[in-house]
Structure 1
Amino acid sequence: MKKSFLVVLLFLTGNLIFAQNGKIVKLLNKQLQREYTKFYDETGRKKFTVTEPFQIDENNVLHFGFTLLTNIKGEKTIVSRQVLLDKIVLFDKDQNVYFYTLNKDVIETKTDYDSNGAVVRTTRGNTHYFFTEINRENYPVRFMKKIKKALTKAGYDVECNF
């Protein structure tokens, strides 16, 4: 009886965490889309495109990717970021809304392309900051409170400044 109860409890807890991970992703993507449609003009939309919306995989790794058109010749940079959710200690905003880790746990990969689409260079590095590219709204406090609530419900102890 105790084993059955424990299995059911673990199953329900796991489902709650996955549900909250989905909520985190939904909130991030919704806010980014909101800013994209509200604050980006046609030129801005051509310069910045999301190539990989926010997602959390089965290992609780948060992923995000986008493309920046760097000039009118068609040169571009594709950026992808990833971080384990349990490594995040802070959720904050300066110019960008960002997640922060203590030990450079964010992996960022940048691939630069020339105007013909050929790879010029790929760099991969680790940093403390997972920038969300959510940066157009001056005071996204309601959004940040919702993220904090979802992170807490998912079992992540993340400090938030807002």
Structure 2
Amino acid sequence: MTWTAPEITRTRELTVGDERAMLESWLDFHRQTLLRKCAGLTAGQLRTPSVEPSGLTLLGLVRHLAEVEAWWFRENFAGEQVDYPYFTPQTPDADHDVSAADAEADFATWHREVALARRAVAGRSLDETFTEVGPKKRTFNLRWVYVHLIEEYARHNGHADLIRERIDGVTGL
């Protein structure tokens, strides 16, 4: 049987709540939106690029956002040692190389990274700061990470809209 991305029921974002609840709600809404853009597609369809010369694919976005979750929430904010599933210094864009990717495994990786990200920030203050890993050494707080991830998902969900429309004409998910 051919694997297809599972259907998902998206939870609407909060319209009233405290800051933390609102940030978590909007991030979850955008996470679920990405999964909705992929729902019902086969692994082959998830590997379909947008338009030439771009090689951007829905599966590449899932892989990329799994690593973004790990980079900001776990490695930078929580200071965890992260073994990235795709990135290496020799292949920094490997998350977008889906030619031999296992879509089912990649979706499992994304779900695992989201769960690990939630665990990394549980009970931590939005005002808690950290110094960025790498040469820039900028200081951020957890609030910034939430806002950035919402922006990152929202931007890539726009890409996902166009890719999905190219694959099967479906829009507005």
- TM-score normalized by structure 2? 0.30
- TM-score normalized by structure 1? 0.32
Q: Which has the higher helix share?
A: 2
Q: Which has the higher strand share?
A: 1
